Amino acid sequence: IIMKTAAFASLIAGAAAFAPSKSSSRSSALQMSFENELGAQPPLGFFDPLGLVADGDQEKFDRLRGVEIKHGRICMLGVVGYLVNKAGIYLPGDISTDGTKFSDLGSGWDASFAVPVPGALQVLAFCGALELVGWKQAEGSFPGDFSASSFPVGWVGADDPETQEDYRAKELNQGRAAQMGMLALMVHDKLGNVDDLLPWLPSN
């Protein structure tokens, strides 16, 4: 009797595991609210494998989207900066009062570790100033709209809402690609085979 009871309980438990979950259905319904957001497009559509916005919190979604856009912008600059330095193009002058020139730094990881402490502090201070008092998110606007900043920021040529949305979608996609590209450059720079991947650079 005990064995039969245990077997029956196991069958019930197994069936329950495949039964529709109310919380799962609710989570899916909440995620549906973001499926039409900018950036949710083929082939992945709305992609949230970690369930970060499974609760349907619009404020959290906007904050994460703002972070995504900011990281994308940084990486777009980072990829261009990496390629420019790799091609042997540098800012003129010194990066530090000890006489270290920008051209002395090299590129990639080597350049990161070659920056003198005073120079690194200048970069940190500049980025901190932009973050704290420079870039300002416009209240009530879409994430990444820094038109409330202390210096003029806008969308060049976006004279109508449709054009602006098209520009925003392109920026978002290019930012995502740049994040992957920056990661790939960092990995291959560490492996030492960037020159093999980018033989077209003038320095090669």
CA separation for the pair 39, 139 (Å, rounded): 21
HSE (CB half, 13 Å, CA atoms) of 13?
6
- Predicted confidence (pLDDT) per residue in 163-181, tens digit: 888 989 999 999 999 999 9
HSE (CB half, 13 Å, CA atoms) of 69?
21
* Tokens standing for residue 10: 């196991």
Q: What is the pLDDT of residue 32?
A: 58
* Tokens standing for residue 59: 């404020």
Q: What is the pLDDT of residue 140?
A: 86
CA separation for the pair 161, 137 (Å, rounded): 18
Contact 55, 30 (CB under 8 A): yes
Answer whether residue 197 shows pLDDT above 90. Answer: no
Instruction: Provide the pLDDT confidence category of residue 156 given band limits of 50, 70 and 90.
Output: low
Answer whether residue 1 shows pLDDT above 60. Answer: no
- Predicted confidence (pLDDT) per residue in 62-84, tens digit: 999 999 999 999 999 999 999 99
Highest mean pLDDT among 73-77, 91-95, 126-130: 73-77
Q: What is the pLDDT of residue 147?
A: 80
pTM for the whole structure: 0.77
Q: What is the pLDDT of residue 154?
A: 67
SS3 at position 155: coil
Over range 15-42, report the average pLDDT: 59
Cα angle: 104, vertex 72, 187; to 5 degrees: 55
Answer whether residue 182 shows pLDDT above 90. Answer: yes
Q: What is the pLDDT of residue 7?
A: 44
- What is the sign, positive or negative, of the torsion defined by CA atoms of 121, 123, 128, 133? positive
Answer whether residue 19 shows pLDDT above 60. Answer: no
Higher pLDDT, 185 or 145: 185
Q: What is the pLDDT of residue 69?
A: 93
Cα angle: 9, vertex 11, 17; to 5 degrees: 105
Contact 153, 73 (CB under 8 A): no
Higher pLDDT, 68 or 30: 68
Answer whether residue 92 shows pLDDT above 90. Answer: yes
CA separation for the pair 139, 163 (Å, rounded): 21
